[in-house]
């Protein structure tokens, strides 16, 4: 398959300070934008949960609850394909594989369950993570939305 | 939001709204204060009013399990909606805390609410 650039049908970008109050806003922004695909309740719930994990990771681990900005980009492609990019310019990760190990957390005292990436991988079809220590982390979530009509 | 009630050694924490990293902080503080003060033998966390939950909810359950376990008590997860069950199953929460679809048999027999209801019904009949 040629790696021809596929243009999104629609897209939106939003950025917000790394405040825990904004975790809810991020979920609502994504579900509001995706409402044009008429997702069913299960799909919307899965997507909101995955977004919540990625945004919380950026706030808790990326910025370690200090000041910073989280940016989010949602794209809609043909056939109900969506991508959600969540990016921070925080501390980044030395070892992505270790961070993605189920039940591993660098903040046990904060009662983090270490399941963020497991949830993202289960609730989305594809998760890609790019990270550089001192530069930040980008998480790209992908899946197809069937929607109510196509069920 | 958290509504707490302790009757005969059983604390019921009725959670409502969205449970994420932001809201979990206050919820766990309130639950822990009740546990520390009332020293129940069982904690029932009622999820029936929770409209969203991510892994922060798992952290909340695991943390309360640890606290109750240290005191020789237990935790039960009650009435989780379908979308929350998916996260609970993924995390294997039932290995620590049993999941129940009902509050029946979890509360003490002479629960205040039931008692109050009975008294009300009785007084209604006599009138």
> Is the pLDDT score of A47 beyond 50?
yes
Angle between helices A41-57 and A22-34 in degrees, nearest 10: 140
> A113 to chain B: which residues are within 8 Å by CB?
55-56, 58-59, 62, 91
The number of folded domains in chain A is 1
Within the 94-113 window of chain B, which residues sit less than 8 Å (CB to CB) from chain A?
none
Q: Report, at the CATH architecture level, how domain B2-126 is classified.
A: 2-Layer Sandwich (3.30)
Higher-confidence residue of B94 and A65: namely: B94
pLDDT of residue B127: 43
Instruction: Give catalytic status of residue A57 as yes or no.
Output: yes
State chain A's mean pLDDT as an integer.
Answer: 92
Residue A51 maps to a domain: yes
In a domain, A3, yes or no: no
- Residues A3-29 pLDDT 10s: 567 899 999 999 999 999 999 999 999
Domain membership flag for residue A74? yes
Instruction: Delimit the domains of chain B by residue range.
Output: 2-126
Query: Which CATH number fits the domain that encloses residue A99?
Result: 3.30.565.10
Name the percent of chain B lying above pLDDT 90. 78
Q: Does A24 touch chain B (CB under 8 A)?
A: yes
Contacts of residue B79, defined as CB under 8 A and 6 or more positions apart, other chains included, come to B46, B47, B48, B100, B101, B102, B103
Residue A144: which region, alpha, beta or left (left: phi > 0; alpha: psi -120 to 50)? beta
Residue A141's pLDDT is 98
Q: Residue B98 phi/psi, 5° resolution?
A: -65, 150
Cβ of B114 under 8 Å from any chain A Cβ? Answer: no
Which pTM value belongs to this model? Answer: 0.89
Predicted confidence at residue A148, as pLDDT, reads 79
pLDDT score recorded for residue A66: 86
């Amino acid at each position: 398959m040629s790696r021809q650039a596929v243009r999104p049908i629609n897209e939106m970008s939003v950025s917000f300070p790394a405040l825990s109050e904004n975790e809810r806003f991020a979920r609502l922004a994504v579900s509001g934008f995706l409402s044009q695909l008429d997702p069913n309740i299960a799909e919307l719930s899965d997507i909101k949960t995955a977004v919540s994990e990625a945004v919380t990771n950026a706030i808790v681990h990326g910025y370690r609850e200090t000041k910073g900005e989280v940016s989010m980009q949602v794209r809609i492609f043909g056939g109900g394909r969506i991508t959600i990019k969540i990016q921070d310019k925080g501390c980044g990760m030395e070892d992505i594989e270790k961070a993605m190990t189920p039940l591993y957390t660098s903040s046990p005292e904060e009662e983090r369950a270490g399941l963020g990436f497991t949830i993202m991988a289960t609730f989305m079809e594809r998760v890609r993570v790019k990270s550089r220590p001192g530069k930040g982390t980008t998480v790209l979530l992908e899946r197809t939305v069937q929607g109510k009509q196509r069920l | 939001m958290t509504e707490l009630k302790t009757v005969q050694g059983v604390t019921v924490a009725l959670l409502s709204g969205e449970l994420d990293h932001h809201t979990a902080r206050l919820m766990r503080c309130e639950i822990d204060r009740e546990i520390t003060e009332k020293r129940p033998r069982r904690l029932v966390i009622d999820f029936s009013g929770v409209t969203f939950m991510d892994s922060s909810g798992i952290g909340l359950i695991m943390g309360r399990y640890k606290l109750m376990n240290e005191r020789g008590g237990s935790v039960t997860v009650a009435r989780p909606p379908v979308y929350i069950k998916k996260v609970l199953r993924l995390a294997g929460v039932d290995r620590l805390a049993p999941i129940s679809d009902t509050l029946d048999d979890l509360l003490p027999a002479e629960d205040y609410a039931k008692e109050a209801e009975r008294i009300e019904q009785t007084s209604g009949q006599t009138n």
